[in-house]
Amino acid sequence: MSSVQLAPAPLHRRRLGRVQLPKVTMAHGGGGKAMRDLIDDVFVSAFDNDLLSTGEDQARFHLRDLAAYGDRLAMTTDSYVIHPLRFPGGDIGKLAVCGTINDLAVGGAKPLYLSCAVIIEEGFEVETLREIAQSMARTALAAGVSIVTGDTKVVNRGACDKLFINTTGIGVIREGLELGAGNVRPGDAILVNGLMGDHGAAILCARGDMALSTPIESDCAALHGLIDTLLTAAPGTRFLRDATRGGLATVLNEVADASQIGILIDENLVPLRAEVKGFCEILGLDPLYLANEGKIVCAVPPEQAPAALAAMRGHVHGRESAIIGHATNERPGRVVMQTVLGGRRIVDMLVGEQLPRIC
């Protein structure tokens, strides 16, 4: 972000308001002083940057600065309604920033700017809201992105569950990079960057549904640095996607369908935490469908797979990376798994849901 010129700072920075009440009221969404004080106190003070401090209804960018990163803009949006709001390894604020950054990065974009829109239930604790905003600010700062605009709405008690967050992201795609689910070819290696299913397991534990002696933390993380490392080592990478809702199985099915190739994976090669395997067996869940918030699935030409794997394992978010299978001419549109028992089974798209409200 250091080379991007933000909009000129206002000549006189206004004094920010302060919230006087411990809980959010309907007045905080009414458009008057109470709402302005809430926005100033909770969001503007946390997200502080020159684009935001102008107080305009939109963030304004210099196109010449954006063009320095590539020739195409990427834009994505996502809403976060997770329950509970805090979980081992993160909270809804960190999740909202990381999730949108990752949705940009898997398209080959350099994430630059985020918006933040919140829907708050009347009676929500202001201090909790402030902590979540500060979590978003810390995560964005560490990732090198700026939260530059937003919106606040307050709804009556019962109209939403405490807090919903929407984030929209803008990034720039470097020239010559074309990633897509329809690009995968037979023989391409399929890689993941680590242990699968940790986020879904962490949410299950946070709800008190499982009493584990060793709590599992969510893998929630911004992955654009890892992706840059991968693309440098394996510039022929054909496809990237973060395996969130629906997990690994859903992503692989989307690729197989889009490229009309088959995908064969080896159950022995899919990295899983022993605790995740254990409670999936107890509850009858399939770990291939568990959600992740810090895992990507990659398709790489076979000759570049060793370099891709080494590069990913050298990054903090890829220590447990593995090649789990390959694309094939057999069974176009299908995903097949070689099981630990020596047989093969079809891995279908997720039908219904295993865990509700995981992001």
State the pLDDT at residue 10: 54
Please write the tens of the pLDDT for every residue from 29-49: 999 999 999 999 999 999 999
Q: For the chain, where do the domains classified as CATH 3.30.1330.10 start and end?
A: 26-173
Secondary structure of residue 134 in the 3-state scheme: helix
Which is more confident, 331 or 212? Answer: 331
pLDDT value at 9 more than 60: no
Q: What is the mean pLDDT of residues 66-78?
A: 95
Q: For the chain, where do the domains classified as CATH 3.90.650.10 start and end?
A: 181-346
Please write the tens of the pLDDT for every residue from 91-129: 999 999 999 999 999 999 999 999 999 999 999 999 999
pLDDT value at 50 more than 70: yes
Mean per-residue pLDDT over the chain, rounded: 93
pLDDT value at 284 more than 90: no
Q: What architecture is the 181-346 domain classified under in CATH?
A: Alpha-Beta Complex (3.90)
Which is more confident, 150 or 280? Answer: 150
pLDDT value at 350 more than 90: no
Q: What is the mean pLDDT of residues 314-325?
A: 98
Q: Could you write out the three-class secondary structure of the chain? A: CCCCCCCCCCCCCCCCCCCCCCECCHHHHCCCHHHHHHHHHHHHHHHCCHHHHCCCCCCCCCHHHHHCCCCEEEEEEEEECCCCCEECCEEHHHHHHHHHHHHHHCCCEEEEEEEEEEEEECCCEHHHHHHHHHHHHHHHHHHCCEEEEEEEEEECCCCCCCEEEEEEEEEEECCCCCCCHHHCCCCCEEEECCCECHHHHHHHHHCCCCCCCCCCCCCCCCCHHHHHHHHHHCCCCCEEEECCCCHHHHHHHHHHHHHCCEEEEEHHHCCECHHHHHHHHHHCCCHHHCCCCCCEEEEECHHHHHHHHHHHHCCCCCCCCEEEEEEECCCCCCEEEECCCCCEEECCCCCCCCCCCCC
Q: What is the mean pLDDT of residues 189-197?
A: 97
CATH class of 26-173: alpha beta
pLDDT value at 210 more than 80: no
pLDDT value at 2 more than 50: no
Q: What is the mean pLDDT of residues 213-224?
A: 89
**Rounded Cα distance, 177 and 236, in Å:** 9
Please write the tens of the pLDDT for every residue from 236-280: 999 999 999 999 999 999 999 999 999 999 999 999 999 899 888
pLDDT band (50, 70, 90) for residue 1: very low
Strands 146-155 and 109-121: parallel
